[in-house]
Amino acid sequence: MENHGFECAECGGSRLEEYMTGVVVYTEVVGLSSDGHIELGDQDTSYDDADFEYRCMDCTWTIPNVFTQVELSEYLREKKWRD
């Protein structure tokens, strides 16, 4: 896999993050120990109401009009081709 080639338009940074809001994480409570420790099962995640942004990890500048991994891939490939 090659480097994504992201360069922030705001600060020139190269670290890119997928930022999600509206994600629901749920875990079954499976037990309680005698000393009060809660035992949890495996975590599950629901992305049904999630909103995604792709942004610079250094200054939080957000790539405009990119909300899915497919759109991000197209944005990065187009930018690489232009540069």
Q: Does some domain include residue 10?
A: no
Q: Does some domain include residue 39?
A: yes
How far out from the chain centre does Cα 8 lie?
Answer: 16
pTM for this prediction: 0.72
Q: How many residues does the chain have?
A: 83
Give me the phi and psi of 65, to 5 degrees please: 60, 30
Domain membership of residue 73 as a residue range:
16-82
Number of domains in the chain: 1
Q: Does some domain include residue 75?
A: yes
Q: 16-29: per-residue pLDDT in tens?
A: 999 999 999 999 99
Long-range contacts of 58-65 (CB under 8 A, 24+ apart): 58/8, 58/11, 58/13, 58/15, 59/8, 59/10, 59/11, 59/13, 61/8, 61/9, 61/10, 61/11, 62/19
Q: What is the pLDDT of residue 78?
A: 86
Q: How do the pLDDT tens digits run along the chain, 83 residues long?
A: 567 789 999 999 999 999 999 999 999 999 999 999 999 999 999 999 999 999 999 999 999 999 999 999 999 988 765 55
Q: Does some domain include residue 1?
A: no
Q: Does some domain include residue 43?
A: yes
Q: Does some domain include residue 11?
A: no
